[in-house]
Amino acid sequence: MAFAAAEDDGDGPAPRRAGRAAAWGAGLLLAGVSTVLGFRVADSDGRTPVPQLLAFLPWLLVPAAAGLLMALLGRWRLGMLWGVLVLGLIAWYVQPYGTTDAPRGPAVAELRVLTSNVEFGQGTRGLLDAVRAERPDLLFVEECDHGCAALLRAELPRADYPYRAAFDATGAEGSVILAKVPLKSAPGIDATLGMPGAVADVRGRPVRVQLAHPMPPMPREVGLWRSELRSIRDYAAAGDGRPTIVAGDFNATQDHAAFRSVLDTGLRDAARLAGSSRAPSWPAAAPAPLGAQIDHVLATPDFSARDARFLDIGDTDHRALAVTLTLHEPVTER
């Protein structure tokens, strides 16, 4: 790759060296950003470190802008065009993914849904406070170990949450769905971490509910992460349009092709429907708007969504997500 800084009459060796250094710096920054962006354009998650970096795709605007600035300082015209193109593509992909058309049928029922990864049970106390404040009808809890499950039983009145579907286990494998509405048993998704499922009775309408918690895309486990998101996609596709809610820690954002494939089955992201498509949920220690939205509530198009809120509950690296879903009657085409 060749870099050339423009020279004006009177430029000395030092300014020329500084210009070349700026051009080289611009090239290195823009090449790195373009590599990650190229996988987004190609609708692929690639290999480590691409999936990990794609989670923070909006923040690639920072090195891209720095690259453009350095190209300007180095008077490198090709680099200036390159930087503008990269910034434009990132801005394009920052736009929310998927459709947002509202259901046309009359409302049947409202469901307040809350999902929270409590990080090996550590955030359970804070989750209990959030449950009391939000009063969800459906509660999805990831990384709920035996201690977490016992605390939920002890602190949440059975009269309020009489229905339960759970994968009882230690550490990150444990997960539980608690509900105010009746639940019928249903097969969950077979995965490394517990992903229980059920069928909820919502005013006589069966609604498939599924907790999502695929493995994160760790450097040596990207294939497993992709495979478990594919299992979630297969579950969603098997619904054949029946009302479905899938909620939990997906360890993926809309910038991951594996997650977009889940949305492409017809599920829609409730946070996006409610106007919070880029609100971060992880890591909770990072001040907003830093971070990535990897915790989601997805629903079929017969649900509308409002009042999405990401909640700091403490003692966990995730923010909880609470959102109100409204189930609508299907419209019969004449």
How does pLDDT run across 97-116, given as a tens digit for each residue? 987 888 989 999 999 999 99
Asked if the structure places residue 3 within a domain, the reply is: no
pLDDT at 184 over 70: yes
Asked if the structure places residue 138 within a domain, the reply is: yes
Task: Compute the average pLDDT of residues 155-184.
Answer: 97
Q: Are residues 85 and 197 in the same domain?
A: no
Q: Are residues 48 and 159 in the same domain?
A: no
Token pair in block for residue 215 = 């493995």
Task: Quickly tell me which residue has 């930087």 as its tokens.
Answer: 83
pLDDT at 6 over 70: no
Asked if the structure places residue 206 within a domain, the reply is: yes
Asked if the structure places residue 284 within a domain, the reply is: yes
Task: Compute the average pLDDT of residues 257-271.
Answer: 97
Give the C-alpha separation, 60 to 204, whole Å.
47
- Looking at the structure of the chain, the number of domains it has is 2
Asked if the structure places residue 322 within a domain, the reply is: yes
Expressed as residue numbers, the domain containing 137 is 107-328
Q: Which residues pair with 197 in a beta bridge?
A: 186, 210
173 DSSP 8-state letter: G
pLDDT at residue 333 in the model? 59
Over the stretch 126-151, which tens digit does the pLDDT of each residue have? Answer: 999 999 999 999 999 999 999 999 99
Residue 128 CB contacts under 8 Å (≥ 6 apart), including other chains: 151, 152, 155, 156
Q: Are residues 304 and 232 in the same domain?
A: yes
Token pair in block for residue 104 = 């046309």
pLDDT at 123 over 50: yes
Q: Are residues 322 and 220 in the same domain?
A: yes
Q: Are residues 88 and 116 in the same domain?
A: no
pLDDT at residue 9 in the model? 43
Contact 314, 122 (CB under 8 A): no
pLDDT at residue 187 in the model? 96
Reduced 3-state DSSP string for 193-211: CCCCEEEEEECCEEEEEEE
Q: Are residues 67 and 194 in the same domain?
A: no
Q: Which of 46, 72, 94 is the last residue of a domain?
A: 94
Q: Are residues 90 and 39 in the same domain?
A: yes
Could you give the angle at which helices 146-155 and 124-134 cross, rounded to 10 degrees?
40
Residue-level length of the chain = 334
Q: Which of 94, 117, 148 is the last residue of a domain?
A: 94
Q: Are residues 138 and 89 in the same domain?
A: no
Q: Which of 209, 231, 118, 204 is nearest to 163 (CA)?
A: 209
Q: Which of 41, 65, 94 is the last residue of a domain?
A: 94
Over the stretch 20-30, which tens digit does the pLDDT of each residue have? Answer: 999 999 999 99
Q: Are residues 191 and 139 in the same domain?
A: yes
pLDDT at 5 over 50: no
- Provide the CATH number for the domain around residue 230: 3.60.10.10
Q: Are residues 232 and 254 in the same domain?
A: yes
Q: Give the three-state DSSP class for 86.
A: helix
Token pair in block for residue 253 = 């954002």
Task: Quickly tell me which residue has 């046309």 as its tokens.
Answer: 104
pLDDT at residue 100 in the model? 81
